[in-house]
Amino acid sequence: MFEKLKSIQARYDELCSLLSDPNVISDQEKYRALSKEQASLEEIVEAYGRYLSAKEQLDALSPMLSDADADIRAMAEDEKRELGDKLDALEEELKILLIPGDPNDNKNVILEIRAGTGGEEAALFGADLLRMYARYAERRGFKAEFLSDNSTNIGGVKEVILSISGKKAYSRLKFESGVHRVQRVPETESQGRIHTSAVTVAILPEADEVDLTIDPSELRIDTYRSSGAGGQHVNKTESAIRITHLPTGLVVTCQDEKSQHKNKAKALTVLRARLLDKSEQERQDKISQDRKNQVGSGDRSERIRTYNFPQGRVTDHRINLTLYQLEMVINGKLDDIILPLIAHNQAERLKEIQ
């Protein structure tokens, strides 16, 4: 492990030198690629630096441990124990950081929410999940932007697509894909009976043009008038866009903006993310062994979480985690669920490389 850390440190130092080279600075494409590589190594280099510093402090204690003064020896022993614990913790941190990273972890996110079984109640719960993720994004300092919104007349959402951008947005949200089930008494229920409804959430890494090139000849682009609740432009201009990817049959629509060009750009962003996700799913399907390094299968038909309102309970079924903090979770305080999911994933992957 430490040989690998030394080589990472050497590569990081080399990148720092290259990024100050005028020839590299003038080549923007190369500069961006090297900057991205440097950023990917930064966290592990910082942790390794903390480890080396603690190790130096421990080595410096040797003379004090054999000092003639008993008080100095006792103080040194205490410090030795503290530094030993610190080194153990840093070593575990370094092991986790050395796990091969998900290449999509640093990407922005395309978040799709679709109402499933449960009719209008499912759409209302979809709106609750939309607010939950928007508030979580705000807490994390991420930027959330609507790409498409198909709402109901009483405030629910049949389908909504958001772009969420920020540092390591995908790494934080990637385990949210799947079926989210709600158990509660709907607003439309007159007899107080508890209903069960479901909403599907999809988390897609936003694809850059360098990740996926789309042949314009494979696209059919249609324009039409916007419809539904909205601003003054609705039904007045043909600004809405429908893009069909002919080889796959994937269809994306966008009508949120007054500008046809903006709607087209947003629709292409969603299409690119869906095509990249489709390609990744197909690649994973070809892998014969089980995907042990994932929390669950990643299948969006898999029920991953239940929100039980009468009991104020949230249960994540993949790691058997139950919290009686429903109100906090639904208001965007998701880290008490997301962090255990990340930790579980890391522990499973760590088992495989040991």
Same domain (yes/no): 89, 124: no
pLDDT recorded at residue 104: 84
Which pairs with CB-CB distance under 8 Å and at least 24 residues apart come from 246-251? 246/218, 246/219, 246/220, 247/218, 248/275, 248/278, 250/274, 250/275, 250/278
pLDDT recorded at residue 231: 42
pLDDT recorded at residue 316: 96
Q: Is 206 exposed, middle or buried (0-12, 13-18, 19+ CB in 10 A)?
A: buried
Residue 125, in any domain of the structure: yes
Same domain (yes/no): 71, 200: no
Same domain (yes/no): 84, 19: yes
SS3 content of the chain, % helix, strand, coil (to 5): 50, 20, 30
Give this prediction's pTM: 0.68
Residue 233, in any domain of the structure: yes
pLDDT recorded at residue 298: 45
pLDDT recorded at residue 232: 40
Same domain (yes/no): 21, 163: no
Same domain (yes/no): 332, 188: yes
Going through the chain in order, the beta strands assigned E by DSSP cover: 109-115, 143-151, 157-165, 178-184, 195-205, 219-224, 240-245, 250-254, 303-308, 313-316, 321-323
Same domain (yes/no): 334, 194: yes
Residue 104, in any domain of the structure: no
Q: Could you give the count of Cα atoms lying within 13 Å of 135 in the half-sphere of its Cβ?
A: 15
Same domain (yes/no): 240, 329: no
| Residue 184, domain CATH | 3.30.70.1660
Residue 103, in any domain of the structure: no
CB atoms within 10 A of CB 186: 18
Residue 267 to residue 135: CA distance in whole angstroms:
24
Domain final residue, candidates 269, 285, 301: 285
- Joined together, the tokens standing for residue 340 give 């255990």
Domain final residue, candidates 74, 97, 120: 97
Residue 292, in any domain of the structure: no
Tokens 């790409």 appear where?
147
Coil, helix or strand at residue 19: coil
Residue 54, in any domain of the structure: yes
pLDDT recorded at residue 194: 87
Same domain (yes/no): 154, 275: no
What is the tally of structural domains in the chain?
3
Same domain (yes/no): 90, 117: no
Same domain (yes/no): 120, 184: yes
Residue 156, in any domain of the structure: yes
Same domain (yes/no): 315, 200: yes
Tokens 């009991």 appear where?
311
Residue 6, in any domain of the structure: yes
Walk along the chain (354 residues) and give the pLDDT tens digit of each residue: 788 889 889 998 999 999 998 888 888 888 888 988 888 888 899 998 899 998 999 888 888 888 888 888 889 898 999 988 899 888 888 887 887 777 788 889 999 999 988 888 899 999 999 999 999 999 999 999 888 888 888 888 898 999 999 988 999 999 999 999 999 988 766 677 888 999 999 998 887 765 667 888 888 988 877 665 444 444 455 678 888 888 888 888 888 777 788 888 888 888 888 888 877 777 666 544 434 444 544 445 678 999 999 999 999 999 999 999 999 999 999 999 999 999 898 888 777 665
pLDDT recorded at residue 290: 38
Domain of residue 144: give its range: 109-206+311-353
Residues near 247 by beta carbon (within 8 Å), at least 6 away in sequence: 218
Beta pairing class for 195-205 and 143-151:
unpaired
Same domain (yes/no): 6, 50: yes
| Residue 39, domain CATH | 1.20.58
DSSP class of residue 214 equals P
